[in-house]
Amino acid sequence: MKLRLKLAALLWILALAAGDAFSQGYPNKPIRWLIPFSAGGPTDVLARAIAPKLSEALGVPVIVENKLGAGGSLAMDAVAKAAPDGYTIGMGHTGTQSINPHIYAKLPYDSLKDFAPITPVVSYVNVLVVNPNVPVKTVGELVAYAKANPEKVSFASGGTGATNHLSGELLKAVTGAPMLHVPYKGSAPALVDVIAGNATCMFDILVTSLPQIRAGKVRALAVTSAKRSHYAPDIPTMRESGVEGYEEAGSDLWFGVFAPAGTPKPIVDRLNAELVKALKTPEVVERIRVQAYEIWTLTPEEFAAFLRVEYAKWGKIVKLAGAKAD
């Protein structure tokens, strides 16, 4: 037994030494950064703002590559199956890591076990908007209107299982408001139909909704976050609107960077440090401001702990909504 323990300890020490030796020469070739959505979208724009600064700090090219499909799961599966050497990373988010595992019958990866979390990079919120012809000006009035007109109120989303779908399901659950979910192939056409009056309301990100709010094409009722967004300080929170418990269940959303599980800790720590520095540069700060995101970083250990809580939280919401991937 003592011999086995000594051998196990020796193997552990050798593994650590090998990882340290490997990481000392890192990086010495281009890094591939997989993005789960199309070029020009919010996730892509965010990554392309950060990548040049990360490349500059690491001394090698950081190549952003778009890999679409299955709600972002194809990209993250490629990350999970890549060599754990720090040369493949991915931009995960609330959907790929906390929602998809609960709505897809079988994912090709385990979102908690198959990744080495590096850091979140930004958080953001959804805002509840209604067509301006709907006779409501507060969330409470919308709930009362839905209960008085159970066949009349619908909420649009970017698709089943999307964060804005679950934001709506959560509102239904905590208020008892009867609202029909109408999924679209993306949030942009959903917002178009809310503006046209074909759907009553929807939850949407600030960067796309704020111009429509300011133009009077939709009316803002509340943001989903625990506190008001400084990008829209005049829009109340759900709690301020009388909806208790909303932010504890699902409010702030996020994007974050992941490596494959087994990536040596010195490499994960190096990527964390350089990403945090990149997010503080004026060019990146301005690009993030334009998108109405909030810069948010954690240590790899803090991020891993946060992800476990998020996984459980969104799992409850998905179960409550009965959401399944189309």
Give the strands of the sheet with 126-130, arranged side by side.
Answer: 180-183, 154-157, 201-205, 126-130, 219-223
Per-residue pLDDT, 244: 81
**Tens digit of pLDDT at every position of the chain (326 positions):** 555 545 544 444 544 444 454 456 899 999 999 999 888 887 888 899 999 999 999 999 999 999 988 778 899 999 999 999 999 999 999 989 998 899 887 889 999 999 999 999 999 989 999 999 999 999 999 999 999 998 999 999 988 878 888 889 889 988 999 999 999 988 899 999 999 999 999 999 999 999 999 999 999 999 998 889 999 999 999 999 988 877 765 567 899 999 999 999 999 999 999 999 999 999 999 999 998 999 999 999 999 999 999 999 888 888 877 777 65
pLDDT given for residue 12 in this prediction: 47
**Residues of 292-320 as b/e, b for ≥16 C-beta within 10 angstroms?**
bbbebbbbbeebeebbeebbeebeebbee
Place of tokens 């989303």: 157
| Residue 234, C-beta contacts closer than 8 angstroms, at least 6 positions apart | none
Reference 307, options 267, 273, 248, 256; nearest CA is 256
Query: Domain 2-123+253-321, what fold?
Result: D-Maltodextrin-Binding Protein; domain 2 (3.40.190)
> Is the fold of 2-123+253-321 the same as that of 126-249?
yes
243: phi then psi, degrees, rounded to nearest 5: -100, 95
pLDDT at 106: 85
C-alpha angle with apex 205: 40 to 141, nearest 5 degrees?
Answer: 155
CATH code matching the domain that covers 126-249, chosen among 3.40.50.150, 1.10.240.10, 3.40.190.10, 3.60.20.30? 3.40.190.10
Q: How far is CA 129 from the centre of its chain?
A: 20
Q: How far apart are CA 26 and CA 10, in angstroms?
A: 25
Torsion angle defined by CA atoms of residues 198, 201, 204 and 206, in that order, rounded to the nearest 10 degrees: 110
pLDDT score for 319: 84
User: What is the reported pTM?
Assistant: 0.85
Cα–Cα distance between 112 and 195 in angstroms, integer?
A: 39
User: Which pLDDT value is given to residue 318?
Assistant: 84
Domain edges within the chain: 2-123+253-321, 126-249
Strands 154-157 and 253-260: unpaired
pLDDT at 186: 86
- The reported pLDDT for the residue numbered 8 is 46
Work out whether strand 31-35 and strand 62-66 pair parallel, antiparallel, or are unpaired: parallel
